[in-house]
Amino acid sequence: MTTAIPDPSQTPGTETETEAATVLHEPRLWRDGGWTAYVMKNEDDDGWAVAMVRDGEPEPALVGPWTMGRDKKNPKPLDTSAFNTLVKTASEVRRRHEQQLHALLHKRVRVNTETLGEIVVTLQIVPNDDDPYALLSAIDALDETLAQIRVTPGFKLNQASAAAWIENDFARMD
């Protein structure tokens, strides 16, 4: 589904960015509680779509089909119930995205050793545009950092790689 997401500052009848926190309830545009819902023409067919944008974010958190009105030409107007449902759905999408990103950037495994006991090895990826890297850390049962080195963001952390790093006295992994 291709839809054009309007720029809030360019949409007729909307406030400027300094007034973005203002509550606005129009049939095709609602702004309330940090969210803005836009109902727009779906460019791919005769239907309508709705986009939910969180204040301050450049991209919509959710874009989906919107119901036709009784005349079968125009969209059904936004109302409190629909807006609240859209906010809930868009918030869930954002939360899942944040959880997925966190899981991609933060990994951890536990390794039991004879001499040091249980060691937690973590990999935290720093997605810097110019110089991405990751930090590999070893933490003991008392939450003390035993070692930390910088590795490539593509480093594969698993039981075997963590155990090998510990067995090699936390030597640099190139």
> Confidence band (pLDDT; 50, 70, 90) for 72?
confident
**Predicted structure pTM score:** 0.64
Classified as helix, coil or strand, 85 is helix
Instruction: Give the containing element (helix H, strand E) for 88.
Output: helix 80-105
pLDDT digits (tens, 9 = 90+) for 2-60: 445 555 444 444 444 444 568 999 999 999 999 999 999 987 777 899 999 999 999 99
Q: Is the distance from CB of 150 to CB of 135 less than 8 angstroms? A: yes
Q: Report the amino acid identity of residue 6.
A: P
Q: Rounded to whole angstroms, how far apart are CA atoms 145 and 122?
A: 11
Could you state, in order of their start, the residue ranges of all structural domains in the chain?
17-78, 105-167
- The number of CA neighbours under 13 Å toward the Cβ of 50 is 26
Q: Rounded to whole angstroms, how far apart are CA atoms 33 and 135?
A: 38
